[in-house]
Amino acid sequence: MSLSSTAIEPLSFRKALGHYASGITVITSHIDDQPLGFTCQSFYSVSMNPPLVSFSVMSSSASYPGIRQAGRFAVNILSDEQAGISNQFARQGTDKWRGVQWQASPLGNPIIAGSLHWLDCEIHAEHAAGDHLIVIGEVKALNLQEATATQPLLYFKGQYCNLAG
């Protein structure tokens, strides 16, 4: 017996993908004295040698053109105490950095205080894919200190959750 397939409705597409649990990141960069960032679920590792990672960004992103111009970005992996940060960086056209403490990474990208971990990357390649761009970064530095936060922020079926459930 085969599993039946139907036309792919956007809602069912979203719902199906919601079953894939992931962590949450904020991709940040800095250009013209302006920190940039957006909440990003579509982060994954690509290659060990060289060390490559990737994320997908909507073509309509307001922050990505500046990130591209800077040619570098940091991946802030959020901790379970940063659901507010995730929401704040998901709102286009708002002051995303209001009340957010950060420090510059070795490449000059903002590292958000309280993040679980971070990676510092240079843009290695960019590929158009439907209504998104697939961005590949080469990792140039990463967090070598043990973070005070220990638990990840997780996203599953459209909701934040944590490892405890």
Ligand X SMILES: Cc1cc2nc3c(=O)[nH]c(=O)nc-3n(C[C@H](O)[C@H](O)[C@H](O)COP(=O)(O)O)c2cc1C
Rounded to the nearest whole angstrom, what is the least distance from the CB of residue 5 to ligand X in the complex? 25
Rounded to the nearest whole angstrom, what is the least distance from the CB of residue 53 to ligand X in the complex? 13
Contact residues for ligand X (CB under 6 A)?
Answer: 24, 38-42, 56-58, 61-64, 86, 90-92, 155
CB-count burial class (<10 Å; 0-12, 13-18, 19+) for 26: buried
DSSP string, 148-159: S--SB-EEETTE
- Which of residues 59 and 148 has its CB atom nearest to ligand X in the complex? 59
Contacts of 8 (CB under 8 A, 6+ apart): none
Rounded to the nearest whole angstrom, what is the least distance from the CB of residue 22 to ligand X in the complex? 9
- Which of residues 106 and 127 has its CB atom nearest to ligand X in the complex? 127
Rounded to the nearest whole angstrom, what is the least distance from the CB of residue 64 to ligand X in the complex? 6
| Residues forming a β-bridge with 52 | 47, 138
How many CB atoms sit inside 10 A of residue 52's CB?
Answer: 16
- Which of residues 14 and 106 has its CB atom nearest to ligand X in the complex? 14
- Which of residues 51 and 66 has its CB atom nearest to ligand X in the complex? 66
> Rounded to a whole number, what is the largest CA-CA distance in the chain?
60
